A and B are shown apart, each in its own frame.
Chain A
Amino acid sequence: MDSHSIIGTKNKKGQTYTDPYHLFFEAPRIPSFFTGSEVIKEAIRRASVDLMVAYPITPQSEAAALIGELYAEGYVTDYMRGENEFGVMSECAGGSFGGARVFTTTAGPGTMRAMENFPMWSGARLPIEMIVTCRGINSPLSIQPDTLEIYFLLETGMLVWHAETAQDFYDWILMGFMVAEQPDVHLPIAICCDGFFVTHTKDVVNLTPADMCLPPYDPYRSPVPCMDMECPPVRMMRDPFVMKSNYISYATHASWQQEIRAAVERSRKHTIPLLGGLIETENTDAEILIVSSGTAVSQGREAIRLLAEEGLRVGLVKIKSLRPWPYNEIREATKSAKYIFVPEFNVAGWMAREIKATVPDSDRVIAGPHVAGGMTMPPEVIVEHIQRTLGKSVATLAGRGS
C-alpha cells in the first residue's frame, strides 16, 4: 500500500486523509480552549490510530479515558486494557509487530514498571507513539510534575521530545507519527510533557480541522519484516541468536544497537522541518542564557522578563528534542554565553549534565534551580539563582509559603 495514494480519500468517519505538510502548516487552525488531556484526545482523533492500549491506574490524566471515547465514536480502530503497565507496553508491541499504528499514554511509576519494553520496542523497530505526562516516580508518590522519568528513557533508543505547552503537545503528537514511521527511522517515540501543568490546565490551542486526518501507517515500508516468529527480532526473543558465543553473534548485537542509534540520528532530517529545528532560541548573544526543556522554559521566559526589568539581559534556549540530542545547535547557541543556567523539574539535574557534556568550557553551565515532587518553580526562584551566582545580594523566597 502506498499511503500517498489515498491522500484526498475519506475514512469511515468521513475524515479526509490529508498530506501531513498541508495538515500541519497550511490547513486552517481553530482556536480552542482545552486541557492538555483533551488536547491529546483531539490530536488522536486526527491521527488515524489503529490501536490504543491503556491501563486505568489511579491517579491518572484523563487522556486514556478520553481516547476510550474516541474508540466508542469509531475514530480509533481498537482499544484494549492492559493487565498492568508492563502488559500495556507488551500489547503495544504486539499490535505494532502486526502492522498497526499504536498509541499509548503513561507516566511516573507506570513508565518505570514498563521500562523493559522500551529498548525492546526500539530494537524491534516498532514506531509506537507513547505520551509521557511526567510525574514523580519515587516514594512517597506524587501526581505532580517531576521530569526524572525522562532521564530513564534517554538511552532506550526511543526518540524523545519534550513539549513546553499544550500547543506543542498537540502538534507534536501528530508530527511524531510522521517522523517515527519513516522507514529510515522507524523507532518508537516518547512525547513528554510536564504532567498536571500541561495535562490538567486549560490553554488556547489552535487545532487543525476535525475532518482532516493523517494518512495511515504503511507497515510495508518497515525496515524489518512484519511479525514473523522465525525471524529476528521476534526469533531472537524466543531463541536468542545473540547468545551464541562467537564473535559474529556479538558483533551483530553490537551493530544492532548501533543501528538503533543511527536511526535516531537519521530522524534529525525529518524532525527539523516539522518542529522548526530541534531547539528554539531568543537573544543568544546575551552573556547569560537559560537553557532547558518543558515548562521550565515557560518559567524561564517569565524570569527573563523580570530580569529585564532590572536591566539584566538574558537569552533563552528551548530544547525540543532530547533524542536526537541537538548537539551542534546547543554548541552554536551557547557559544557567546558566559553563564548557562539550567532550571529543571527534578533533583538530579540530568539536563545540566547533558549540556555540560555538550558545550566547551562546561564550567559555564550552572545546574539549577531545581524543584521536584510537584513543587512549582516560581520565576523569582530562577531570578534569585541567577543573581546569587552573579554575586548580587537578594532576599530569599524561602519564606513565601508561611
Chain B
Amino acid sequence: MNQQYGQYSVRPGPEAFLPPAAASMGVVLPDPGQAHINGRIVPEEEAFEEAARMFLGGTVPTIFPGPLVLWAWNEKAKKKAKAIKFLYDTLKECAPQDAKPMLIPMPDYRPKYPKINPEVEINPNHPNLTIWHNKIDVCMFVGVHCHQANLSLKIIRGGTNCYTIAMCAQAGHEDACLSFRDASAEKIMHLAEWVKKLKGVVPFGAIKKHVAALETQDRAGGTRN
C-alpha cells in the first residue's frame, strides 16, 4: 500500500538491500500501444527510440532470451527467436567499436547446483548479482516468464547499475527501467530498425551519463534518497 508515495522512478541501481517491487510503489503497466520508461507511461514509439539509444550507449549491451523463445514450442516462438538473432546481429553491426554486445541464454529456471556460471547464463532464481562481473550496463529480457522476469529485474535493479529493458509478450514489467508489452517478432524487428537508424548517433558509453542524469533528476524530485 504505497500510494502515499510520490511518483516512483524505476532506474538502474544499486538501489537498496531489498528494493521494493515497482508495482507496490504505484507504478502501473502500460495499455496496448504504450510502453513505460522509468515508470512513466509513453507512446510505444518513444520507447523504441529510447531502448535503441540505451543499447547503443552501453558498453556491454546484452540480450537475455528466455525459454519462451529459446524452445520451438510454437510458430510464434520460432519467429521471435529469429528476430532476436537479427536484433543481436544488428546490435553488433551498429554498436560503437569498443562495445561488446552479448547474447546470453536463459534456457530454463532450474536451480543450478552448486552455483550457476554467470559467464554462460543467468537464472532468475539465482540471478547472480554481478551478472557477468557487473560489466553488463544495459540488458533486455525477452521470452522470460513474467514472474521470473520480475524477480530478476528487481534484484538486478537492487544490486547493480544495469539499465534493464523488458520485451514482454504479455502486459509488461514495472520492474524494468523500460518495458514494452505484447511483444511480437515484428516489434523486435522494429527495435532493430531503430538501432540501425541511430547508428553513429549515440556515443560509446553514453548510458553512464544518462543514468547519472536520472539520479540527479530523481534526487531533485525527491523520489529517491
**Contact residues of A with B, CB < 8 Å?**
125, 182-184, 186, 221-225, 230-232, 235-236, 239, 241, 247-249, 251-252, 254-256, 258-259, 261-263, 265-266, 269, 325, 327-328, 358
Check if B155 sits within 8 Å of A235, measured CB to CB.
no
B128 at the interface (CB under 8 A from A): yes
Check if B145 sits within 8 Å of A241, measured CB to CB.
no
CA distance A245 to B28 in the complex (A): 34
Contact of A325 among B1, B110, B150 (CB under 8 A): B1
CA distance A263 to B18 in the complex (A): 18
Query: Given contacts A224-B145, A327-B1, is CB(A232)–CB(B109) below 8 Å?
Result: yes
Nearest CB to that of B67 among chain A residues?
A225
Chain B: how many interface residues by the 8 Å CB criterion? 35
B111 at the interface (CB under 8 A from A): yes
Nearest CB to that of A240 among chain B residues?
B111
CA distance A252 to B147 in the complex (A): 12
Q: Name the interface residues of B95-126: CB closer than 8 Å to any CB of A.
A: 108-111, 125-126
Check if A232 sits within 8 Å of B150, measured CB to CB.
no
Top 4 A-B pairs, shortest CB-CB distance: A223-B146, A262-B23, A262-B21, A184-B171
Nearest CB to that of B181 among chain A residues?
A184
Ordered by A's residue number, 14 sampled pairs between the chains whose C-beta atoms are within 8 Å are: A184-B146, A221-B170, A223-B148, A223-B150, A235-B111, A241-B125, A248-B155, A249-B126, A251-B155, A252-B151, A255-B18, A255-B154, A262-B21, A266-B28
Q: Which residues of B contact A235 (CB under 8 A)?
A: 110-111
Q: Identify the interface centre among B110, B111, B128: most chain A CB within 10 Å of its CB.
A: B111
Q: Name the interface residues of B2-40: CB closer than 8 Å to any CB of A.
A: 3-4, 18, 20-24, 28-29
CA distance A255 to B126 in the complex (A): 12
B127 at the interface (CB under 8 A from A): yes
Nearest CB to that of A257 among chain B residues?
B21
CA distance A262 to B170 in the complex (A): 16
Q: Which residues of A contact B147 (CB under 8 A)?
A: 125, 186, 223-224, 259
Contact of A248 among B24, B108, B126 (CB under 8 A): B126
Q: Which residues of A contact B109 (CB under 8 A)?
A: 225, 231-232
Q: Name the interface residues of B150-207: CB closer than 8 Å to any CB of A.
A: 150-151, 154-155, 158, 170-172, 174-175
Q: Which residues of B contact A249 (CB under 8 A)?
A: 126
Check if B23 sits within 8 Å of A266, measured CB to CB.
yes
Contact of B158 among A221, A251, A327 (CB under 8 A): A251
CA distance A256 to B125 in the complex (A): 9
Give the distance to chain A from B37, nearest Cβ to Cβ, in Å: 18
Check if B111 sits within 8 Å of A241, measured CB to CB.
yes
Query: Given contacts A231-B108, A262-B23, A269-B29, is CB(A223)–CB(B1) below 8 Å?
Result: no
Q: Which residues of A contact B67 (CB under 8 A)?
A: 225
Known contacts A182-B171, A256-B151; 14 additional CB pairs below 8 A are: A183-B170, A225-B67, A225-B145, A231-B108, A248-B129, A252-B126, A252-B127, A258-B18, A259-B21, A261-B23, A262-B24, A265-B21, A266-B28, A325-B1
Nearest CB to that of A269 among chain B residues?
B28
Contact of A184 among B22, B29, B151 (CB under 8 A): B29
Q: Which residues of B contact A258 (CB under 8 A)?
A: 18, 20-21, 24, 154
CA distance A235 to B126 in the complex (A): 14
CA distance A320 to B151 in the complex (A): 30
Query: Given contacts A241-B125, A251-B155, A327-B1, is CB(A261)–CB(B29) below 8 Å?
Result: no
Contact of B23 among A222, A231, A252, A265 (CB under 8 A): A265
CA distance A251 to B146 in the complex (A): 18
Q: Which residues of B contact A231 (CB under 8 A)?
A: 108-110
Check if A252 sits within 8 Å of B150, measured CB to CB.
no
CA distance A254 to B128 in the complex (A): 15
CA distance A9 to B23 in the complex (A): 36
Give the distance to chain B from A111, nearest Cβ to Cβ, in Å: 24
